[in-house]
Amino acid sequence: MSALHELTVERVMDAPVSAVWRAWTDHLAEWWCPKPWTTEVIEVDLRPGGRAAMVMRGPDGEGGDPMDCVFLEVVPERRIVFTNALTADWQPRDPEPVMIVGYFVFEPDGDRTRYTAGARHWSAEAMAAHAEMGFAEGWGMVADQLEAVARRVAASG
């Protein structure tokens, strides 16, 4: 897979890594999809081989399709890698998913966090389709929402 098939969003968040990690792990429903959409968290088994399942719904009830993925790598306070190409019991999915591997990287930057979120795709066409769906805007909004939650977590101790 080529880096040419990768989309990323980067931020320096005004919160320490520990707070960003807690926001990611403990407050997923608050930031996972761009508002006014909401996220219902069904399961998050944050370990390699663990499953994540969520349902995102729009303000008029649109959506409702489950997002299901498997964690490939989890390094606390540093990295999360997941795929939607497999089910939790390691069965291949229909090769339709726009994104195939997603990741989040958390790097300390003093009292702040250098955050990178990315999506890798099978092909340039799949990457272009994801970009056209609003990857930069959507994942950028989500990063901003995650930072807001992390700042609140940091302030509350």
At 80-137, the pLDDT tens digits run: 999 988 877 888 887 665 778 999 999 999 999 999 999 999 889 999 999 999 999 9
At 24-68, the pLDDT tens digits run: 999 999 999 999 999 999 999 999 999 999 999 999 989 887 888
Higher per-residue confidence, 95 vs 71: 71
Give me the pLDDT at residue 1, please.
44
Give me the pLDDT at residue 95, please.
63
CA–CA separation, 18 vs 52, rounded Å? 21
Domain boundaries along the sequence of the chain: 3-27+69-156
Q: Which two tokens stand for residue 89?
A: 């019991």
Q: CA Rg, the chain, in Å?
A: 15
Give me the pLDDT at residue 39, please.
95
The answer to whether residue 2 scores a pLDDT higher than 60 is no
CA–CA separation, 127 vs 119, rounded Å? 8
Q: Are 55 and 85 in contact (CB under 8 A)?
A: no
Q: Are 33 and 143 in contact (CB under 8 A)?
A: no
CA–CA separation, 66 vs 56, rounded Å? 7
Q: Give the CATH architecture of domain 3-27+69-156.
A: 2-Layer Sandwich (3.30)
Taking the model in full, what pTM does it have? Answer: 0.92
Give me the pLDDT at residue 96, please.
62
At 139-149, the pLDDT tens digits run: 999 999 999 99
Beta-bridge partner residues of 113: 13, 108
Q: Which two tokens stand for residue 10?
A: 């980067």
Give me the pLDDT at residue 93, please.
80
